[in-house]
């Protein structure tokens, strides 16, 4: 009975547990503890000579341990939706399917570290291909640690809630878009509050490759991983080639990009949003044609998720910077106008060819959202609850070690883009747009936080690279195996 109660507490559960479930929890806890011991020993062996690395280890693992203990304590002693979600969105649930699935992401990460320097020195196309392959294989392998192959496509199998449930409604893309607002009451779960972009992506992949849930899930990870391409070219506009490449290696191992990128359609928004942002910014500086393409890409990003609207202030800032960085102000303004033509033209084309209206869709989605979700502003208490939940959600999922470095660098020493990221996060929090399981919705902000300054450690080498990657890897595995990040 004592062992049963102990396991119930560790699992964040109460009541009767079957023998099979107890065995599963015990196996998971043992493997997680063993993994932690091996990681600590390895970190001490390779990074302990640097005081900066030691401090980063103490703070990041200490805070992660505090997160785990706090989350499990809240989940066990305080029941209900608000307590469960007050301190970042995830459900305590220690689980590891088997040693084989558990060791796979470890092998992939070690291989990357072994060849990391060679990858960083590759020609651009091969470099991006290597990072993309690393991200896809690592994200998929991390997803398998909990329940094997099933974990890869689990969220797609929940057709009563996920976008895959809309696929039977799509006879043709044109007819689906034409009837989309009228179909709102027939749409699945939370898709009623969103535009049709994600459903169209899934339908197109299904028709093109003739795959089921597992194939769709892997294709979505592969598609979302392509975001590294526009992010790379965007970062090059603000930093050197070396800085952009080093920043991108951190990006593919950020816990939220790995965990939620492999369990959410919102990973495709990272691609569409940053394809728009990169082409717009570069186009505004150099090419009217690229600015036009950027406007169309921005239209598709909004067509995927209305959340892209909140990037408007960021786009205004990029427009200001583009205008500052070119010699001919008039030419920059013309290119900005051209991008607006592309953006508006995208939706006019959809309306003329299918009858789909983004404005009508937004209105219907707002009504659906009103009935589905209570306002964050119903009381000061609820506003603060969701603000705290969303803030801890973003910080924990995006990587505690990264935030420690950003905080240590201080406001003046951080890159301009990081400051833009700070301002954007504050905007998102203040407008109270986030409520519910929102870790996935933060995904498309991540590229704003990877261009932090790289400094020298006390042994004279460039610091905060391999040791930081290792700590991000550790954070990712711990979050994945101790918590159920079901989005």
The average pLDDT across 380-407 equals: 87
* 110 shares its domain with 12: no
Residue 53 lies in a domain: yes
Q: Which of 76-85, 153-162, 426-435 has the highest mean pLDDT?
A: 153-162
pTM over 0.95: no
Average pLDDT, the chain: 87
Pick the more confident residue, 273 or 465.
Answer: 273
Look at residue 329 in the predicted model and tell me its pLDDT: 67
Residue 132 lies in a domain: yes
Question: Domain containing 416: what range?
Answer: 80-453
pLDDT at 252 over 80: yes
Burial class (CB in 10 A: 0-12, 13-18, 19+), 378: exposed
CA distance to 68, 101, 151, 153, per residue, from 96 (Å): 17, 8, 11, 17
Residue 228 lies in a domain: yes
* 68 shares its domain with 90: no
Assess contact for 456 and 232: CB atoms under 8 A.
no
* 215 shares its domain with 121: yes
* 38 shares its domain with 127: no
Question: What is the distance between the alpha carbons of residues 24 and 46, in angstroms, rounded to a whole number?
Answer: 33
Number of domains in the chain: 2
* 9 shares its domain with 108: no
Among the listed residues 234, 250, 218, the one whose alpha carbon sits nearest the alpha carbon of residue 131 = 250
Count Cα atoms within 13 angstroms, Cβ side, for 59: 16
* 73 shares its domain with 84: no
pLDDT at 6 over 70: no
Look at residue 63 in the predicted model and tell me its pLDDT: 95
* 277 shares its domain with 360: yes
Residue 231 lies in a domain: yes
* 50 shares its domain with 141: no
* 138 shares its domain with 200: yes
For 445-465, give one letter per residue: b (16+ CB within 10 A) or e.
Answer: bbbbbbbbbbeebeeeeebbb
Look at residue 17 in the predicted model and tell me its pLDDT: 58
Domain boundary residue among 30, 49, 79? 79
Look at residue 400 in the predicted model and tell me its pLDDT: 93
pLDDT at 430 over 90: no
* 326 shares its domain with 196: yes
Domain boundary residue among 21, 54, 79? 79
* 71 shares its domain with 211: no
pLDDT at 378 over 90: no
Assess contact for 176 and 197: CB atoms under 8 A.
no
* 75 shares its domain with 189: no
Among the listed residues 236, 243, 242, 237, the one whose alpha carbon sits nearest the alpha carbon of residue 322 = 237
Residue 395 lies in a domain: yes
Question: What is the distance between the alpha carbons of residues 381 and 336, in angstroms, rounded to a whole number?
Answer: 42
Pick the more confident residue, 188 or 263.
Answer: 188
Question: What is the distance between the alpha carbons of residues 159 and 165, in angstroms, rounded to a whole number?
Answer: 4
Residue 397 lies in a domain: yes
Residue 162 lies in a domain: yes
Residue 17 lies in a domain: yes
């Amino acid at each position: 009975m004592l062992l049963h109660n102990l396991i119930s507490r560790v699992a964040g559960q109460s009541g009767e547990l079957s023998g099979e479930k107890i065995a599963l929890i015990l196996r998971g806890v043992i493997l997680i503890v063993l993994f932690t011991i091996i990681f600590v020993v390895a970190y001490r062996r390779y990074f302990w000579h640097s005081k900066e690395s030691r401090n980063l280890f103490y703070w990041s693992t200490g805070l992660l341990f505090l997160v785990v203990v706090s989350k499990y304590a809240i989940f066990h002693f305080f029941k209900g939706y608000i307590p469960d979600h007050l301190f970042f969105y995830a459900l305590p649930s220690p689980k590891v399917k088997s040693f084989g699935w558990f060791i796979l992401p470890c092998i992939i990460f070690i291989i990357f570290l072994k060849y990391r320097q060679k990858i960083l020195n590759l020609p651009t196309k091969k470099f991006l291909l290597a990072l993309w392959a690393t991200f896809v294989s690592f994200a998929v392998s991390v997803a398998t640690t909990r329940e094997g192959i099933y974990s890869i496509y689990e969220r797609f199998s929940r057709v009563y809630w996920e976008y895959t449930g809309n696929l039977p409604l799509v006879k043709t893309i044109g007819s689906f878009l034409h009837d989309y607002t009228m179909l709102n009451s027939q749409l699945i779960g939370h898709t009623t509050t969103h535009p049709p972009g994600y459903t169209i992506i899934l339908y197109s992949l299904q028709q093109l490759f003739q795959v089921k849930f597992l194939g769709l899930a892997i294709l979505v990870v592969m598609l979302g991983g392509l975001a590294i391409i526009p992010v790379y070219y965007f970062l090059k506009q603000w930093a050197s080639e070396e800085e952009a490449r080093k920043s991108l290696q951190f990006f593919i191992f950020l816990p939220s990009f790995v965990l939620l990128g492999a369990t959410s359609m919102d990973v495709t928004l990272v691609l569409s949003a940053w394809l728009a942002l990169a082409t717009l910014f570069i186009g505004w500086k150099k090419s009217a044609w690229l600015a036009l393409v950027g406007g169309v890409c921005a239209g598709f990003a909004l067509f995927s998720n209305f959340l892209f609207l909140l990037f408007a202030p960021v786009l205004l800032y990029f427009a200001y910077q583009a205008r500052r960085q070119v010699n001919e102000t008039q030419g920059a303004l013309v290119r900005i106008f051209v991008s607006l033509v592309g953006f508006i033209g995208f939706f006019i084309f959809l309306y003329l060819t299918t009858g789909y209206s983004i404005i009508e869709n937004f209105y219907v989605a707002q009504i659906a959202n009103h009935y589905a979700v209570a306002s964050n502003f119903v009381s000061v208490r609820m506003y603060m609850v969701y603000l705290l939940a969303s803030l801890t959600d973003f910080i924990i999922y995006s990587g505690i070690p990264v935030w420690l470095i950003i905080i240590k660098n201080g406001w003046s020493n951080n890159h301009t883009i990081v400051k833009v990221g700070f301002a954007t996060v504050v905007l998102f929090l203040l407008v109270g747009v986030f409520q519910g399981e929102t870790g996935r919705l933060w995904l498309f902000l991540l590229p704003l936080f990877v261009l932090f300054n790289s400094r020298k450690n006390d042994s004279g080498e460039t610091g905060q690279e391999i040791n930081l990657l290792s700590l991000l890897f550790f954070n990712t595995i711990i979050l994945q195996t101790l918590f159920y990040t079901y989005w």
